[in-house]
Amino acid sequence: MTSTLTTFLSITNNYSKWIELTAADPTVASQTEYYKANIASVTSPDELVNDYKLFSYALTAYGLGDQVYAKALYKQVLSEGADSKSLGAKLGNLGTLELAKTFNFEENGTSTTTSEAVQTGVVDQYIAQKLEEKQGESNEGAQLALYFYRNASKIDSVYDILADKKLLTTVYTALGLSEYTAAMDIDRQAALLTKALDISDFQDPQKLTSFIAKFASLYDAKNNDTASDYVNALFGTSSSSGGVVSIGVDLLSSVQGLSLGGSWR
């Protein structure tokens, strides 16, 4: 299996092409065509949640596709807007809050679905999500890495990480923390992450990519026995080198020179 970092760099360095290929997938194209043709006619949260295909498309775009059964919950989320007192904000999940901000019926009323964010932004999010899901079929680590890169700039506090399973899995893996850490009291976890992370680093593309590289190496070492050569290439260690550590120059240059081929937001 191709290493997580190799897959991540391959996709992000040719992102526009990967997006085009994903958008052209017959199932994705069919769902997108239906969404584009019908979303502007929706004038209320009730209408959105009662159209299964539109509702599923919108939730999937924000990583919430497995919650399409929760019509009553999301009808309330879509009805209350996105201020600090809204259900979308209280739930604490980045995807839910972004959904509430985009489909802000409370603020924009019947014109909500005519906005650029709903007409185009949701489609972009949906296709990116489907690209990540496709990668997850063969390498969940690559899916997590792509998801983290796409959403990291939206993280305002460690509680955003704690509220999102994918973000949390990526961070705990990168920090070398046990999965059982997630069973700790939420405030203890927040204190741990606050000490271990500088959230502002996620606004810096090079620091962010270096963080993802660390995640990728540890993920592969834990989940793929064939990853030893990749880990050795990253950290410059091997049995023949006597365990001496030196950063692989070529790989480090690739990581630091990463540039995106398209818009992530």
Each residue of 12-29: pLDDT tens digit?
999 999 999 999 999 999
- The separation between CA 213 and the C-alpha centre of its own chain, rounded to angstroms, equals 16
pLDDT in the model for residue 84: 81
How confident is the model over 78-100, as pLDDT tens digits? Answer: 999 888 888 888 887 888 999 99
Q: What residue segments make up the domains of the chain, in order of their start?
A: 4-256
Q: Are 82 and 97 in contact (CB under 8 A)?
A: yes
Per CATH, the architecture of 4-256 is what? Answer: Orthogonal Bundle (1.10)
What's this model's pTM, rounded to 2 decimal places?
Answer: 0.80
pLDDT in the model for residue 93: 81
Q: What is the average pLDDT across 240-249?
A: 36
How far apart are alpha carbons 164 and 169 in whole angstroms?
9
pLDDT in the model for residue 246: 35
Helix axes of 4-12 and 249-256: crossing angle, nearest 10 degrees: 40
pLDDT in the model for residue 243: 37
- pLDDT, greater one: 204 or 238: 204
How confident is the model over 178-231, as pLDDT tens digits? Answer: 878 888 999 999 999 999 999 999 999 999 999 999 999 999 999 874 444 444
How confident is the model over 96-116, as pLDDT tens digits? Answer: 999 999 999 999 999 999 999
Whether the per-residue pLDDT at 45 is higher than 90: the answer is yes
State the average pLDDT for the chain: 85
